[in-house]
Amino acid sequence: MGRINVLDTHVANMIAAGEVVENPASVVKELMENAIDAHAESVTVEIQNGGITYIRVTDDGSGMDREDAKTAFLRHATSKISKADDLGGISTLGFRGEALAAISSVSKIDLITKTRECELGSALRVEAGNVIRESESGCPNGTTIIVRELFYNTPARMRFLKKDATEAASVESVVKSVALSHPEVSVKFIKDGKDVLHTPGDGVLKSCMYAIFGRDFVNNMNEVSIQEKGIKVSGFSCTPQGSRGNRALQFFFVNGRAVKSRMLSVALDNAYKERIMKGRFPTCVLMMEIPLGQVDVNVHPAKTEVKFAAERDVFDVVYFGVKSALERSEKRPTPPPPAPKTVPVDNITENQTVIESIISPKKEKVAYEPEANVKKPPEERKPPVFANGRTGSIFASSQRMLFKSSEFTPYKVEAPETEPLEEKTQTTVRKEVETAAAIEPEGKIQKAEADTPDIRLIGEAMNTYIIAECENSVFFIDKHAAHERIIFEKLKNSRGEIQTQLLLTPEIVSLDSRACAVLLENKVELSRLGFEIDDFGGGKVAVSAVPDGIDANDALSVLDGLAETLKSGARAAQPEVISETMYSVACKAAIKAGQKNSDEELLAIARRVLCEDDIRYCPHGRPVMIEYTKNDLERKFKRIV
């Protein structure tokens, strides 16, 4: 190891350039932030060949006098801080004083600047960090910096640059981000002589977003506004329909600074849980105002990462702000209920009774049957007793209403005395719409009774999509997705404990040794999810009970998926695993696309969807309903323009 030497200024600048100047986009970012710190009202960015050969940034800010213009290119020359204590309350975008020194050390720079107090401005030429020419210049107030031949003196760095189009796209992304962070500044972007972007600079975030992303993006956004625990979050987050396939359109700003934060992305994702499909990501433009002493911006060379003193508080405010905006957007007004119609008791059909119970479910579900038709079992008849001490059959209660797949007629399960019970219970009878409505909070029952709108069933398309009319809108409802969500809400209301249905004869399932082991390790937790299992030996488990509402084959496929999840190290008691199991159970228990259903069934589902705000998306995030207003249809048919 040699002697310790003090690096000269040129070498030190080259090292700083490696931290600050990675590509043309990083140059543009530093120069635009300097312009905003100089209180500019407008900033123009122009590039050629992806910014490799030419970058020009012009602003109308405060400018610099001749002495400050030369000093600005020295390393650690800054007007933003003067002592160590200033680092605890940084309010400007730049503060280290390294950007201009780093940029000038790897490029050729022309600087033209003028303050409002000076009659003439100053012009400087800087190459490789050295001022080679300076003079007075007639110029407008503000600063213009032209960067030419980036990395001309560092060929190794030049080889790492990408194609011109790729570098230009990176520059454009930076320009958009800075423009969003300060909508009060008018930003213009010119690429290879063509105007690409121009924001109004009126201080309204929505108009800035409109100029950058267009109308469709803005129309799919909900306004976010919340202030809690000394933290203010404002801006916009997308509707579920506005989600994207990546996180490129997630913008977070802390005190006007664009930041990247895994924690903020997780808070955003959690707010959209169960509202968007897997593999899709929400978009947002969120502005956070946090006390300067509660955030540290001096943790990354490019200043894109920050640390929060109270991460949990920041997480909560972002999460609840976005979730509240989503819930507000999903609520739709319902018209007053129609006048009640009196129907003679003698004319009430079984279907009418069932449909009313779905729209306004009661605590107990008892199928309507005339007294004369009810067969009372003999007094000595008792339910079978299983090895685990529990009694019953795959039918949890004979008082529940069960539906045939092709009809909507309720019936009670009665095993004839002349027929063995085993033959009757080999196939699980799947519960349809009323199963999902069997347990609902009392408040929701009252709401359903009071806010039932006047809904007209038009029909069904492709045995999949319910078509209904309400007020001045036509609704297309995915019956499987809607029923799946209805069942999922029921399971959530069960507080994570899924009701079980006992199998008359246990199913023996063969698994690999690891899957068998993890299932048995989580045996107690699995019982809360509706599965009763025991070790059968030889790498097999005996399944004696499955979640209520699905048949044995579907239940076993859910159990197989659970085994794969648990093999990755998860525990069955974890909220994520419970939620995923409820998703699967709801999907298996729901009526299927292509299945024929009666008009009463379809109308019952439509009423649930249109009357309840939480049935808008299936548990996997797919939309349950598409709405076309009268205005939309008249525009399609050119009745109005």
Tell me what pLDDT residue 96 has.
Answer: 58
Tell me what pLDDT residue 76 has.
Answer: 63
552 neighbors 546 (Cβ within 8 angstroms): yes
What does the block give as tokens for 605? 């589902």
Q: For 385-412, write each residue's pLDDT tens digit.
A: 433 344 433 333 333 333 333 333 333 3
Q: What is the mean pLDDT of residues 179-198?
A: 95
**Band (363; pLDDT cuts 50, 70, 90):** very low
CA dist 103 and 566 (Å) reads 52
Residues 6+ apart with CB under 8 A from 430: 403, 405, 549, 550, 551, 589
CA dist 515 and 520 (Å) reads 9
CA dist 502 and 535 (Å) reads 17
CA dist 243 and 275 (Å) reads 10
DSSP letters, 512-534, are: -HHHHHHHHHTHHHHHHTT-EEE
Tell me what pLDDT residue 331 has.
Answer: 60
Q: What is the mean pLDDT of residues 148-176?
A: 89
288 neighbors 252 (Cβ within 8 angstroms): yes
CA dist 452 and 603 (Å) reads 12
Angle between helices 575-589 and 479-493 (to 10 degrees): 140
Identify the residue whose tokens are 């309204």.
Answer: 204
CA dist 581 and 574 (Å) reads 11
277 compared with 166, residue with greater pLDDT:
166
> Residue 76 — left, alpha, or beta (φ > 0 → left; ψ -120 to 50 → alpha)?
left
430 compared with 27, residue with greater pLDDT:
27
CA dist 204 and 211 (Å) reads 11
Q: For 233-256, write each residue's pLDDT tens digit.
A: 999 999 988 888 888 899 999 998
Q: For 525-580, write each residue's pLDDT tens digit.
A: 888 888 899 988 877 889 998 888 777 778 878 888 888 888 777 777 777 778 77
Residues 6+ apart with CB under 8 A from 266: 315
526 neighbors 572 (Cβ within 8 angstroms): yes
Q: Is the Cα dihedral 245, 467, 605, 562 positive or negative?
A: negative
Give the whole-number percent of the chain exceeding pLDDT 90: 30
Amino acid in position 84: A
Tell me what pLDDT residue 461 has.
Answer: 92
Mean pLDDT of the chain: 76
Enter the DSSP assignment of 346: G
Q: For 118-132, write each residue's pLDDT tens digit.
A: 888 999 999 887 888
Tell me what pLDDT residue 448 has.
Answer: 46
107 compared with 385, residue with greater pLDDT:
107
Tell me what pLDDT residue 390 has.
Answer: 40
Q: What is the mean pLDDT of residues 618-625?
A: 82
Enter the DSSP assignment of 409: -
**Band (186; pLDDT cuts 50, 70, 90):** very high
CA dist 551 and 588 (Å) reads 8
**For residue 114, what are the β-bridge partners?**
142
Angle between helices 513-521 and 552-567 (to 10 degrees): 90
Q: For 510-527, write each residue's pLDDT tens digit.
A: 877 778 888 888 888 888
Q: For 54-98, write each residue's pLDDT tens digit.
A: 999 999 999 998 888 888 888 765 655 455 554 555 656 755 567
- Beta strands 186-191 and 42-48: pairing type? parallel
219 compared with 548, residue with greater pLDDT:
219
DSSP3 helix / strand / coil % (the chain, rounded to 5): 35, 20, 40
Q: What is the set of domains in the chain, with CATH numbers? A: 9-198 (3.30.565.10), 220-330 (3.30.230.10)
**Does the pLDDT at position 364 exceed 50?**
no
CA dist 120 and 324 (Å) reads 54
67 compared with 114, residue with greater pLDDT:
114
Count of Cβ atoms closer than 10 Å to residue 39 Cβ: 12
**For residue 47, what are the β-bridge partners?**
55, 191
- The residue count for the chain: 641
> Nearest 5°: phi and psi at 130?
-110, 135
Tell me what pLDDT residue 143 has.
Answer: 94
What does the block give as tokens for 17? 């350039």
CA dist 460 and 468 (Å) reads 9
**Does the pLDDT at position 423 exceed 80?**
no
**For residue 285, what are the β-bridge partners?**
236, 251
Q: What is the mean pLDDT of residues 346-375?
A: 41
Listed range (77-81, 171-175, 262-266, 577-581) with the worst mean pLDDT: 77-81
3-state secondary structure of 45: strand
What does the block give as tokens for 538? 């030889």
CA dist 445 and 490 (Å) reads 13
489 neighbors 614 (Cβ within 8 angstroms): yes
Going through 100-243 in order, the beta strands assigned E by DSSP cover 108-114, 121-127, 130-137, 142-148, 186-191, 194-198, 221-228, 231-238
Residues 6+ apart with CB under 8 A from 115: 62, 63, 64, 65, 141
Q: What is the mean pLDDT of residues 453-459?
A: 87
Tell me what pLDDT residue 433 has.
Answer: 41
Q: 596-616: string of b/e by CB count within 10 Å (b at 16+)?
A: ebbebbbbbbbbbbbbbeebb
469 neighbors 476 (Cβ within 8 angstroms): no
Angle between helices 442-450 and 599-611 (to 10 degrees): 110
